Copies of this chain bind each other. A is one copy, B any other.
Amino acid sequence: MNLLFKALSHPVRRKIIAMLRVGPLTSGDIAARFDMAWPTVTGHLNLLKDAGLVEAERSGTSMRYRVNISAIEEALAFLMDMTAKRAVEVEDQGLREEQ
């Protein structure tokens, strides 16, 4: 959860995710759309990969990156839980909301 939110805290990384949401892209395609050195983009991609937000596979001489939605859903679930009303479990009655 740490790496996940940390990865999402940088605008370039959020933009990369938005780009990949449309469809998979190669490292070069991604790097070309930013005004920074390619190795810097690779760094961001590695961080996204460590956070589980993207997956990479080799395609010939290129590298194809795709977004991993389930990681985003994990963060989503965490935040949902934070906004949820406090609930107490009641035996044989399921969940009852409180407050």
Interface residues of A (CB under 8 A from B): 1-2, 4-6, 8-11, 14, 17-18, 21-22, 69, 72-73, 75-76, 79-80, 82-83, 86
Contact = CB atoms under 8 A, between A and B. Distances in A.
B79 A83 contact: no
A10 B4 CA distance: 10
Q: How many copies of this chain sit in the oligomeric assembly?
A: 2
Contact of A80 (B1, B14, B76): B76
A10 B17 CA distance: 21
Given A79-B76, A80-B76, A82-B21, A5 B2 contact: no
Contacts of A1: 11, 14
A10 B2 contact: yes
